[in-house]
Amino acid sequence: MANANFVDHVRIFCSSGKGGPGSSHFRREKYIPKGGPDGGDGGKGGDIIMVGNSQMWTLLHLRYTRHLRAEHGESGGKSRSTGANGKDIIIEVPLGTIAKNSETEEVIGEITEHNESIVLLEGGRGGLGNDHFKSSTNQAPKYSQPGEEGKEAPIVFELKILADVRLVGFPNAGKSTLLSVVSAAKPEIADYPFTTLTPNLGIVSYRDNRSFVMADIPGIIEGASEGKGLGIRFLRHIERNSMLLFMIPCDSDDIAKEYEVLLNELKQYNPELLDKNRILAITKTDMIDEELKEEIKHSLPKIPYVFISSVANKNIDKLKDMIWLGLNDDS
């Protein structure tokens, strides 16, 4: 994924269509010079609708959109004919997109399935024609209803990537390398911090033609929950997943402390993240021997862990087994 092509936050001023006015028409034909009211109703204004598209992974197509306005409904006509409805505006978004009013912060809806649709702003109803207002005491009403006004609001579209397992670690912990080894994803990889500047997704093949989705997000730094480094822009992508895979290199000065710092950043951002299943992968272990591994084990946090080397393809299958069991743990 090219960095410039990943957009996960856009703001658009949206307006639904106004309903068309009803007609105040009277029937007039050659042999019926004083026909009754036959004004039709106005058409409904167009809606603003958000629709999920599983083939999309970014909001890039909306990046330069500032305003979206649905069509107004057309006026009612004679012979009780109803005006045409205004055309809806369809906004296709990736799965995991939330829409909210940027002024009130109210969440309008979220999309999690392909072709799922949510009406963000409903168009105004069309006005009633004068045919509706005739009565025994008023057989020739000369009035009709105007159409209802549409609605308008500044709407923020915010993408939170959907994945089964999320990689969590400091920069240069080996997350991108692991993703490139277990899936067809091709993240940028280099031996310096913040190589990954945008989230990367990969489909990991498992036994018996099964699979799960793994996501790598830019590395967390201490203070990320307060906006330091890449800040909370990417922390929100951790919210929607089943499992957290913490990755810490074996040459870390203090693996347990590093884990606690990562855990604290997640807690500060959203305490509910700590309710998710967790696995710890000690990475780059092709550089150490078995004796050193035994020493490291005594200081590890009390969660399931595995020593891996993506480069040497060491214990990668064991890691996938642990992930699969964690994803399908019903206890």
- 266-282 confidence digits (pLDDT tens): 888 788 888 889 999 99
pLDDT tens-digit profile of 10-56? 999 999 999 999 999 988 776 666 778 999 999 999 999 999 998 88
Sorting pLDDT into bands at 50, 70 and 90, what band is 144?
Answer: very high
- State the CB neighbour count (10 A cutoff) for residue 29: 7
* Whole-number pLDDT of residue 189: 41
- Looking at residues 156-178, what average pLDDT do you find? 85
Give the chain's domains with CATH numbers.
1-159 (2.70.210.12), 165-327 (3.40.50.300)
* pTM, full prediction: 0.68
Least confident of 29-38, 49-58, 134-143, 164-173: 29-38
* Whole-number pLDDT of residue 85: 97
153 residue type, one letter: A
Q: How far is CA 331 from the centre of its chain?
A: 28
